[in-house]
Structure 1
């Protein structure tokens, strides 16, 4: 499936079967992660057959069942780390979907300490998020979503290009903490520049990073997009 199809297919899945992930799928994800770590100055690691990070040590871990595979997403504390985690983690999220895996973006309901131990990140990096992945008991279902008009605006009454509309619609398919979708996209008067605002709330800057990658896929490679 292409990335647009992957965006529509992907839903949050929190319960997984015991079926292992094929070795060639792991190799594909690790190769992508290596590239993204260099490109985005992030520290991601694929961890397989490891039940501790999503175990039952605390009650809230119980929202997940049988998570034994995940991508630990870490960074140092340099400026912009929140958005980088979202933007580059979103690449892995959709690639895993293309590889016929189910996924869930996770901010709180796992042990970051245990994930840090098993991912073996650099000493100056901390695990911030995780992507649970594997073969889901189900493939999940769509979440409720805001509408195009609630998150998009255009300056100066200029005609709205198709690429902008498609970009916004794709961004609305992105995972968002607590399903809050507080990001907004404003097309400026030059018809190319898009001002992206995370809004206010928990994890909104990371949500924006994820949404910006989804937006870019929806808008297409030929869109004259400039982020502001």
Structure 2
């Protein structure tokens, strides 16, 4: 499975089976997290066999079960933190999907006080990604929750604006964006193609939109098969 295959099959999973992640997969995840932390100047952390952050019904609203592992999304407080969390967190999500693991982005429906992440001075825990072994097919409850909280997916044309014909690589990038998870389930990232240059921005109406921006940028890069985004809201894509 390559990354585009992972984009196609990835879906949020909220019910996990109580068996530890295989040792070889743990090693791979830790190596990837170490790599993205160095590249993004982050402090993402893999927490294993500790599900206390998801055991409070009041916090999780009963939306999760069996969560024993998660990735703590920790980093230095700066204006790019949430965008980087989205970009690099989704990179880990897609790699986990390739390994056959289930994942789910989690913003507020977990107990922050029960998290055992090492948060240094000047850092914040932005959220977590639940991760672990899942049954092949989603449970009935998972499907019900998904139908309840998810929106109708926007068309590719609704997600960008351009007064000129867009190239094939842009269209492929947008198809990958269409399948990106959205922390607020509204696909708020708006892309633009003008004078041969692609850009992406969000309105910044809430704290999760910049996470969505980072996630969408990673999907676009993957679909476009080459090129690199600049950091920042409204930044350009260098093909």
Assess if the C-alpha contact under 8 Å between 2:54 and 2:60 holds in 1: no
Check the 8 A contact 2:59/2:109 in 1, yes or no.
Answer: no
Mapping of residues 183-198 of structure 1, within 5 Å? 183-189=189-195, 191=196, 193-198=197-202
SS in 1 for 2:84: helix
Which residue is 1:160 aligned to? 166
Distance 1:109 1:212 in 2: 25
- What CA distance in whole angstroms lies between the structure 2 residues aligned with 1:224 and 1:89? 17
Instruction: Name the Cα RMSD after superposition.
Output: 1.9
Q: 1:180 aligns with which of 182, 186, 204?
A: 186
Partner of 2:40: 40
What 5-or-longer segments of structure 1 have no aligned partner? Answer: none
Counterpart contact for 2:59–2:111, Cα < 8 Å: no
> 2:76 maps to which residue?
76
May I ask how many residue pairs the two structures share in their alignment?
A: 221
Distance 2:14 2:114 in 1: 19
TM-score by length of 2: 0.86
Distance 1:200 1:125 in 2: 21
Report if aligned partners of 1:82, 1:206 keep a CA contact under 8 Å in 2: yes
Q: What SS class does the counterpart of residue 188 from structure 2 fall into?
A: coil
Mapped to 2, the partners of 1:99 and 1:28 lie a distance apart of 9
User: How far is the alpha carbon of 1:112 from its aligned partner?
Assistant: 1.9
**Pair 205,225 (structure 1): closer, same or farther in 2 beyond 3 Å:** closer
* Alpha carbons 2:17, 2:134 under 8 Å: kept: yes
Structure 2 spans left out of the alignment, 5+ residues: none
Report the Cα offset of residue 13 of structure 1. 0.6
Counterpart-to-counterpart distance in 2, 1:53 and 1:59: 9
Q: Deviations over 1:141-190 (max 9, x none)?
A: 786311111111224x2x3111100101101111102311011110121x
Answer whether contact 1:55 1:61 (CA < 8 A) is retained.
no
Match for residue 214 of structure 2? 209
Provide TM-score, normalisation by structure 1.
0.90
Superimposed CA distance per residue, residues 112-160 of structure 1 (whole angstroms, 9 cap, x where no aligned partner): 2222xx22232332211111011224544786311111111224x2x31
Question: Contact 1:48–1:68 (CA<8 Å) still a contact in 2?
Answer: yes
Give, in whole Å, the separation in 1 of the partners of 2:134 and 2:172: 29
